[in-house]
Chain A
Amino acid sequence: MSTPQQSGSTTTVIQQALAENTDKRDIGGMLKRQLQQSLAFGTLIVLVIFFAIASPAFFTVSNLTTVLLSTAVIAILALGTTFVIITGGIDLSLGTGMALCAVMTGVVITNWGMPIWVGVLAGIATGVLMGLINGVNITFLRLPPFIATLAMMMIAGGLALVISNVRPIYFSTSAPDFKRIALGVIIPGIPNAVLITIVLAIVAALVLSKTLLGRYTFAIGSNEEATRLSGVNTRRWTIFVYMFAGAFVGVAGVVIASRLDSAQPQIGMGYELQAIAAVIIGGTSLLGGRGSIIGTVIGALIMSVLVNGLSILSIQTEWRNIVVGIVVLLAVFFDSLRNRQRT
């Protein structure tokens, strides 16, 4: 952060800054933004180094692959919900919604005997449809996002059980290839689930930073009424954001079904909170208007590195949750410190 020179009045400093190319400021702004993410990134590096020293089993190719694989589902959910959170909303229906998407995929492929790609599309469509319903409830019925998606969380969870008769739907006989979606390998050394996550992360990052949808996501989160008065149909764009996030829920449902080679109707609970935690650790503000995809990816990685590392150090599951909880607290605390400095 450069402060203007002592000499000269403010106006001349401003004129200088205007006269000079403003691109210099661009770089300054970029560095600042990266600095904000570097806290999360630094934490990730420190954790990796710590676990690598603490246990030789951690920093091995097979374990790191496990870490990435276990990150995949949470990360995919977190990518989509980053958009929702930047608009100032929240989505609690991610977890059970994901289970419902998985079940729908199972029903289409196993019970109806349709091809795999139809099942995949059905899963994603289910996610998008849930997003549409969430969006409509929030904009037209003016329900607070917390309530609208809490209701959807319960409905989706219930539907997943009803449709599946509370039994897992297996793919092993109906579609033996289905598990390759997540566990197959196109690029050597990288399971497909990880590859899918990477591709989706790139797509999400581009959509958020380079497209109209991303711009309106930030605009709505920054000041919804000002955006509306500027002639933007904020209802429509809010619904789009929830549908977009719903598509990620659908993909997560397909990936988790493929990884488990079965659609487990009861699996979703708790995933939504982990995904939201990943988004928050990554520096996205719950107040809306601020956030990034790279931050979310790092946040998701921090969570799975922690969980994996602690289990390698044979620390009990109960304790892992406690540690993750503390990390969430610290992340939000440092974020608020940063905000205080800004004003």
Chain B
Amino acid sequence: MSDPILRVEGISKGFPGVQALKDVHLEVRAGEVLVLVGENGAGKSTLMKILSGIYTRDEGTITFEGEEIELTSPLQAQQLGITIIHQELNMMPDLTVAQNIYIGREPRKGPFVSERALNRRTDELLKRLDIKLDPRKKVGDLTVAEQQMVEIAKALSFNAKVLIMDEPTSALTDTEVETLFVLIEQLKQRGTGIVYISHRMDELRRLADRVSVLRDGAYIGSLEKSEISVPKIIEMMVGRAIDEGTRPEAREHTADPVVLDVQGLSTKSLLKDVSFQLHKGEILGFAGLMGAGRTETARAIIGADRKDGGSIHVGGKQARIRQPEDAVKRGIGYLSEDRKLLGLMLEQDVTFNTVLASLDSYANAIGWMGDRKAKNQTKDYVQQLRVKTPSVNQIVKLLSGGNQQKVVIARWLMRDCDILIFDEPTRGIDVGAKEEIYRLMQQLAASGKSIIVISSELPEILRVANRIAVFANGRITGTLRNEEASQEKIMQLAAHGEEEE
């Protein structure tokens, strides 16, 4: 076994109210993929931010190629050879591939940038990595996967010896994932050490040479390739075993009243004649590929986007929903797929984020707020949903993804919404917390709420949904009962529309 290129020892980091890391160890060896796993809030992001020079550590040492180093800024870390590729890519969409890769290091010809040299250099770099991209193309015109390739190429243009990837596949299609894995294999052979953060066990099984596990900010342990087994890892992550193949109990909903009846929903841009019924107490899954019309259907229903046809009945009554306000008044709450951008106010506290949809009910006739009542009820929901937060006054930005999601759930429960639309409810949330969100959804359904869940992960849909509507190219191509559904059947229906085109 070769010596590690990067060794981290005894790292600790605290934030006000939270000890994010305690005495954490990590080793990265040349030419290996180290998969780093841990539940949300386990401290993975904090550790990676320390390694890329964004945060400074409170204690501990970092040894890189045998020398102890200080990491002071992302640029300095990059120049040393440690680069991180964030989940959210940081690219300038209006610049070309070449301009993005060599930004700040453009080859000059006198006082001017030499575009020709820039493009040639980029072309060489991309060829070396076997990435087929035109250096002159604007990054904004690329797919997410291609943008990621550009980020990786950029990292390697710095001669990165350690490459950290934070959930790189979260926005990729299956074929794109394949291309990425091939690239990772190449990087390994060139001797790059890769730290791969992921929640997906199938990826872990495929890629990992070693696995390190964090839990609650502490280092739990590492497994060598021969020792890796999924149940063992999950146990290390959550401290208990999880049954992966659970399905909801078979339940017949046809007798229950229809709470939401959508007929012929259409939009100019995508949706064609989308019709479905949601029964009381039911969890209805929306499956399909990205861009198939699942999120668009949800947004059209709640009035966030324009509808160009179709009717919606809520509780048997015709509902004219022109804006989200109308939907909320009828008890429909939408939990966006992009919590940070469209769901939360990151700089505000838990209370503010929870009461957001119910503010008017805490105000009297002249608009005076009953803050004490709002805060107490927030505390109730925080306890009921077991949100991990030091207090309801904590700024939401400092909570983990799973707990942020719970805050959004609390918002709609407080508003007493009977129909909840969960869009990718566990995106960026890890295994243990996912399971908790699933159980929560099932409890809500059992208590009489009706739920639509949109998800790109088939195991997730099969885990929670009683019925599954499959979308392709803006229409529903089939609806399956959970008992008769399988990943294969869903994929067939999802691909159905593709064949039609």
Contact residues, B317-368 vs A (CB, 8 A): 323-325, 327-329, 333-334, 336, 341-349, 352, 356-357, 359-360, 363, 366-368
The answer to whether residues A17 and B390 also contact, given A230-B356, A289-B348 and a CB cut-off of 8 A, is: yes
Residues of chain A contacted by B343 (CB below 8 angstroms): 226, 229
Q: Which residue of B lies closest to A3 (CB)?
A: B14
Main secondary structure of the interface of A (DSSP, over half): helix
Q: Which residue of B lies closest to A290 (CB)?
A: B347
Q: Is A29 among interface residues, defined by CB-CB distance under 8 A?
A: yes
Q: Is B392 among interface residues, defined by CB-CB distance under 8 A?
A: yes
**A14 touching B217, Cβ below 8 Å:** no
**B16 touching A26, Cβ below 8 Å:** no
Contact residues, B4-22 vs A (CB, 8 A): 14, 16-20, 22
Q: Is A212 among interface residues, defined by CB-CB distance under 8 A?
A: yes
Q: Is A1 among interface residues, defined by CB-CB distance under 8 A?
A: yes
Q: Is B393 among interface residues, defined by CB-CB distance under 8 A?
A: yes
- Interface of A toward B, CB cutoff 8 Å: 1-4, 9-11, 13-14, 17-18, 22, 25-26, 29, 210-216, 218-219, 222-223, 225-233, 289-290
Residues of chain B contacted by A2 (CB below 8 angstroms): 16-17
Shortest CB distance A18–B (Å): 7
List the 3 closest A-B pairs by CB distance, nearest first. Answer: A231-B328, A222-B345, A22-B391
Main secondary structure of the interface of B (DSSP, over half): mixed
Point out the residue from A9, A14, A218 that lies within 8 Å of B389, measured CB to CB.
Answer: A14
Separation of A332 and B161 alpha carbons in the complex (Å): 39
Point out the residue from A3, A211, A229 that lies within 8 Å of B16, measured CB to CB.
Answer: A3
Most A CB contacts (10 A, CB to CB) among B217, B341, B349, B369 go to: B369
Between-chain CB contacts (< 8 Å), 13 pairs: A13-B19, A29-B349, A211-B369, A212-B369, A219-B348, A226-B341, A226-B345, A228-B323, A229-B334, A230-B324, A230-B357, A231-B325, A231-B357
Q: Which residue of A lies closest to B388 (CB)?
A: A14
Residues of chain B contacted by A230 (CB below 8 angstroms): 324, 328, 356-357, 411, 415
Other CB < 8 Å A-B pairs besides A9-B217, A229-B304, A232-B357, 18 of them?
A9-B218, A14-B390, A22-B392, A25-B393, A210-B369, A210-B371, A212-B363, A212-B369, A218-B348, A219-B345, A219-B348, A219-B359, A222-B345, A225-B341, A226-B342, A230-B328, A231-B357, A232-B356
The answer to whether residues A18 and B363 also contact, given A229-B324, A229-B336, A230-B357 and a CB cut-off of 8 A, is: no
Separation of A229 and B304 alpha carbons in the complex (Å): 7
**B19 touching A10, Cβ below 8 Å:** yes
**B19 touching A231, Cβ below 8 Å:** no
**A215 touching B348, Cβ below 8 Å:** no
Residues of chain A contacted by B356 (CB below 8 angstroms): 219, 226-227, 230, 232
Separation of A11 and B356 alpha carbons in the complex (Å): 27
Shortest CB distance B408–A (Å): 9
**A222 touching B389, Cβ below 8 Å:** no
Q: Is B379 among interface residues, defined by CB-CB distance under 8 A?
A: yes
**A231 touching B324, Cβ below 8 Å:** yes
Separation of A131 and B383 alpha carbons in the complex (Å): 43
Point out the residue from B328, B333, B345, B368 that lies within 8 Å of A223, measured CB to CB.
Answer: B345
**B342 touching A25, Cβ below 8 Å:** no
**A4 touching B347, Cβ below 8 Å:** no
